[in-house]
């Protein structure tokens, strides 16, 4: 029974995610809106410039290719950030490639997500969270 319930929950999440991405994709086919502000951080210099030095608030997704929950969370974050239409950026940091950045920011589990505004951490969560909490997290950065 629990396996069936888990499968149903995953199917419902997948459907919601697909619907959200579909709406976001249609919304962003405009020549007046900026491109989606999601990027993978390549090195420490880029992190300092595009995250800590950004005038736009940034959600930083510390994840890993081997992390199952990360594979569920990252597309949800991407869709939620795209819905802000440029008000918030998303930086994805692979902890295996950039362990020093992860350690500097107290990351000891993945996924860990930081909300950074004006170079300062204003909010943080670890693990998967529901849609309401994710929206509240992103809206807090927009204030």
Q: Give me the pLDDT at residue 4, please.
A: 72
Q: Establish whether 70 is a catalytic residue.
A: yes
pLDDT over 80 at 15, yes or no: no
Q: Give kind and range of the element (H or E) at residue 132.
A: helix 131-142
- The active-site residue out of 51, 59, 60, 70 is 70
Report the pLDDT value the prediction gives residue 9, as an integer from 0 to 100. Answer: 67
Residues whose CB falls within 8 Å of the CB of residue 36, separated by 6 or more in sequence, listed in order: 28, 78, 81, 82
- Kindly indicate the confidence band of residue 16, based on its pLDDT and cuts at 50, 70 and 90: low
Residue of 87, 61, 72, 69 whose CA lies nearest to 140: 87
Percent of the chain with pLDDT over 70: 78
List Cβ neighbours of 32 (8 Å cut-off, separation of 6 or more).
none
Backbone conformation region of residue 85, classed left if phi is above 0, alpha if psi is from -120 to 50, else beta: left
Clarify whether 90 is annotated catalytic: no
For the residues 2-24, what does the mean pLDDT come to? 66
> Has residue 25 got a pLDDT over 80?
no
Under the banding of pLDDT at 50, 70 and 90, the label for residue 3 is confident
pLDDT digit string, tens, across residues 38-61:
899 999 999 999 999 999 999 999
Q: What is the pLDDT of residues 87-115, one digit of tens each?
A: 999 999 999 999 999 999 999 999 999 99
pLDDT, mean over the chain: 85
Q: In whole angstroms, what is the distance from residue 140 CA to residue 143 CA?
A: 6
| Measured distance CA(84)–CA(123) in Å, rounded | 17
C-alpha angle 120-126-128 in degrees, rounded to nearest 5: 130
Q: For residues 88 and 76, is the Cβ–Cβ distance under 8 A? A: no
What's the CA angle centered on 109, arms 106 and 115, to 5 degrees? 55
Per-residue pLDDT at 118: 94
- The residue from 37, 58, 67, 88 that is catalytic is 67
pLDDT at 20: 64
């Amino acid at each position: 029974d629990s396996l069936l319930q888990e499968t149903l929950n995953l199917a419902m999440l997948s459907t919601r995610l697909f619907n959200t991405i579909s709406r976001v994709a249609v919304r962003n086919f405009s020549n007046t809106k900026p491109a989606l502000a999601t990027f993978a951080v390549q090195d420490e210099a880029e992190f300092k410039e595009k995250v800590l030095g950004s005038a736009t608030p940034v959600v930083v997704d510390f994840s890993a290719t081997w992390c199952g929950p990360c594979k569920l969370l990252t597309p949800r974050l991407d869709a939620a950030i795209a819905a802000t239409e440029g008000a918030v950026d998303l930086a994805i940091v692979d902890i295996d490639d950039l362990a020093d950045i992860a350690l500097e920011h107290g990351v000891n589990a993945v996924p860990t997500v930081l909300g950074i505004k004006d170079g300062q951490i204003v909010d943080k969560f670890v693990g998967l969270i529901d849609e309401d909490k994710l929206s509240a997290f992103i809206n807090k950065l927009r204030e």
